[in-house]
Structure 1
């Protein structure tokens, strides 16, 4: 079956889009016109053959008068488990100053940082050593002068 080419999330996205389009009583052609995409492209999205960009999803959401965030989740751009509504991801995908390729690169880097931090957190939980040794921020804080040191240096420089 052709749906398997792009992935499960896109298939459910296509089904969801079709359901929303039908409930809005719009033809495929009408929605395509309102969203500013071609009729065949929208058809391919609905059938799960194409994965639309965040920008296209935003246009479709606007035309259907539904939440773009919901489409991002269904497309796999956002995770529903992202805590505060995926604010970082939403900021990236809604930034008009970035190209789609740049947006995807930032999303990939962000996801890799989250995965790395989760793995580091799991490692710290399983080890008995101090986590401050592996924390560069903690090392910087330890080396930073305290307020009393800074104040005494300022007094010494005044004299």
Structure 2
């Protein structure tokens, strides 16, 4: 396995973390202590040599007093194009009852479902339209009035 940067997203994450750390006037050692990670590990993250877990990112975000969601996006865990704000992903990442491996598996499955649905929608655009036997607005309105109570 070749040594070097893990990936562009991780590299930009490391640059961003270093920028945030220096803005907060924290040394590498101070941030590592506050985040509960080792000094060398944090250094490797900042240099783009290691990809931290969502849990470690959350601890770092808390220590820096910044948004964990922003770190997840920079690490490539969340996509900024999610539109809904990544609420499903954030719920998975924030669940303390799951292991890191389980969280990653759920995120992978969720992403694959979204990709599959996007392909299905592009292949059959009429699927997004109402079917011919859908109730009209007058039927729905009258049902809503009679069903109250």
- TM-score, structure 2 length as denominator? 0.82
Aligned to 2:47: 47
Aligned mates of 1:40, 1:131 — CA distance in 2 = 52
Report the structure number with the largest CA radius of gyration. 1
Q: Which is helix-richer, 1 or 2?
A: 1
TM alignment of 1:71-150, pairs within 5 A: 71-125=71-125, 131=127
Partner of 1:24: 24
CA-based RMSD: 1.7
Structure 2 segments unaligned to the other structure (5+ residues): 132-149
- Residue of structure 2 equivalent to 1:69: 69
Moved beyond 4 Å, runs of 4+: none
What SS does structure 1 have at the residue aligned with 2:80?
Answer: coil
**Partners of 1:62 and 1:45 in 2: how far apart?**
16
Aligned length: 128
Gaps of 5+ in 1: 133-137, 139-159
Q: Deviations over 1:60-97 (max 9, x none)?
A: 00000000000000000111111121000000000000
